[in-house]
Amino acid sequence: MEVQKTALYDYHKNLGAKFVPFAGYEMPIQYKDGIVKEHISTRTHAGFFDVSHMGQFFLEGDQTLITALEKIIPADLNNLKINHSKYSFLLNNEGGIIDDLIITRTEKGFCIILNAACKENDIRQISQFLTENHKKFLNNNLSLIALQGPKSVEILEKLIPGVANLKFMTGNNFDYEGEKLYVTRSGYTGEDGFEISISNKKVEKFIDYLISNEVKPIGLGARDTLRLEAGLCLYGHDLNEKINPVEANLKWAIAKKRKEVGGFNGWEKIKTLLANGSKKIRVGIKPDGKVIARENTKIFSSDNNEIGFVTSGTFGPSVNAPVAMGYVKSEFSEIGTSIQLEVRGKKYGGKISELPFYKKSYVK
């Protein structure tokens, strides 16, 4: 498959981006400042992220669309208000996570933001439940920009009056340069911020404005350290088709009503897990020293039994220490449990930790 580029590719190049192949796209991993500075400037001022590789999938239809989507998404879509968003999943018949996503109710139906690496398969999976009465389209004419950090609201409000009134996980249409753009208050960093869906034609001008307000470009490298400090999962690492939401410690994301009534893929399995708990569960992990426990690091109990593995691990610039997430046998999942991490053949101490590692500051 030919490598794809976002509308901002040349713009990133001029900003000094280093590119890496990611999910079939050439994406900036970092810019001149480097990962740590990009991370810190997002936490202290604001940063922007080009996430246009993600799928912006639009669905239109009547009440039967809700019924169809609820078969594969365990959110309460019937009671989701227009312009409100939920974090949810696509589930397979075993309750495994096909993808994690944000679904927003629109005037005519829904918009689903899908992970870049999964989007084509996701659309096939969703389409199984759709009929000719439902319209679907992946909009590749739109860019998606995340603006994250404590100054985001002040900066965006000056350009697009009204965005400051949005609450976390809600959105709306706004006018910009003679076009409509859709802004949600959401993100993937643990900071207050917005995600802006904007036409490819206008996106450079929009980024010019952000840069003139000292918003730094942030690459995938800092996106990863920011989300991990915030305790947020990365699909393909912390989540996959063999892991269900109960094991992923994400049962909060299954709507209360859906937990009671079911009617979605994998419900039988998930019902049992909700009642009895799962054998393994996702936890936060803090290595004791400076050693970094990266993905696939084996986890041992203090009496040397193998109890799990790391799925994401890095150095957290804001907590100024290594941080990780992984799966352990549930009996070892209590906060504070001492564990050992095997790095380069040597065992290092660590502890099961609360998530997030870094305290969020969302506007509710």
Partner 1 sequence: MSDKKFSKKHEWVSLDGDVATVGITKHATEMLGDIVFVEVPDAGKTVEKEGQAAVVESTKAASDVYSPISGEITEGNKAIADDPGSVNTDPEGASWFFKLKIKDKGEYDSLMSKEDYDKFCKENPS
CB of 290 to partner 1, least distance (A): 5
Which of residues 143, 148, 314, 318 is near partner 1 by CB under 8 A? 314
Give the closest residue to 299 by CA, choosing from 316, 287, 290. 287
- Of 132-140, 160-168, 288-296, 332-340, the segment contacting partner 1 by CB under 8 A is 288-296
* Residue among 315 and 358 whose Cβ is closer to partner 1: 315
Using the rule CB under 8 A, is 284 a contact of partner 1? no
Q: In this structure, are residues 170 and 85 in contact, taking their beta carbons and an 8 Å threshold? A: yes
User: Does 356 sit behind a cis peptide bond, omega within 30 degrees of 0 on the bond before it?
Assistant: yes
Give the closest residue to 100 by CA, choosing from 71, 122, 129. 122
Using the rule CB under 8 A, is 319 a contact of partner 1? no
Distance CA 259, CA 315 (A): 36
Which of residues 209, 291, 342, 349 is near partner 1 by CB under 8 A? 291
CB of 2 to partner 1, least distance (A): 24
* Residue among 189 and 333 whose Cβ is closer to partner 1: 189
* Residue among 232 and 292 whose Cβ is closer to partner 1: 292
* Residue among 81 and 346 whose Cβ is closer to partner 1: 346
* Residue among 336 and 345 whose Cβ is closer to partner 1: 345
DSSP code, position 359: -
Burial (CB < 10 A; 0-12, 13-18, 19+), residue 21, is exposed
Using the rule CB under 8 A, is 315 a contact of partner 1? yes
Using the rule CB under 8 A, is 169 a contact of partner 1? no
Which of residues 34, 161, 162, 263 is near partner 1 by CB under 8 A? 34
Using the rule CB under 8 A, is 30 a contact of partner 1? yes
Using the rule CB under 8 A, is 35 a contact of partner 1? yes
Q: How many residues does the chain have?
A: 364
Give buried/exposed letters for 218-253 (b at 16+ CB in 10 A, else e).
Answer: bbbbbbbbbbbbbbbbbbebbbeeebbbbbbbbbee
Give the closest residue to 109 by CA, choosing from 61, 149, 73. 61
Binding residues for partner 1, rule CB under 8 A, total 17
| Residue 142, number of CB atoms within 10 A of its CB | 18
Distance CA 1, CA 170 (A): 36
| Residue 328, number of CB atoms within 10 A of its CB | 23
Distance CA 304, CA 321 (A): 24
Which of residues 294, 298, 329, 351 is near partner 1 by CB under 8 A? 294
Q: In this structure, are residues 253 and 99 in contact, taking their beta carbons and an 8 Å threshold? A: no
* Residue among 26 and 60 whose Cβ is closer to partner 1: 26
Distance CA 115, CA 43 (A): 24
Using the rule CB under 8 A, is 36 a contact of partner 1? yes
Which of residues 32, 290, 347, 359 is near partner 1 by CB under 8 A? 290
- Of 32-40, 111-119, 167-175, 302-310, the segment contacting partner 1 by CB under 8 A is 32-40
CB of 11 to partner 1, least distance (A): 22
* Residue among 290 and 359 whose Cβ is closer to partner 1: 290
Give the closest residue to 50 by CA, choosing from 8, 90, 99. 8
* Residue among 85 and 353 whose Cβ is closer to partner 1: 353
DSSP code, position 17: P
Residues 189-228, mask of contacts with partner 1 (x by CB under 8 A): --------------------------------x---x---
CB of 343 to partner 1, least distance (A): 9
For partner 1, the binding residues (CB under 8 A) are 29-30, 34-37, 221, 225, 290-292, 294, 314-315, 317, 322, 344
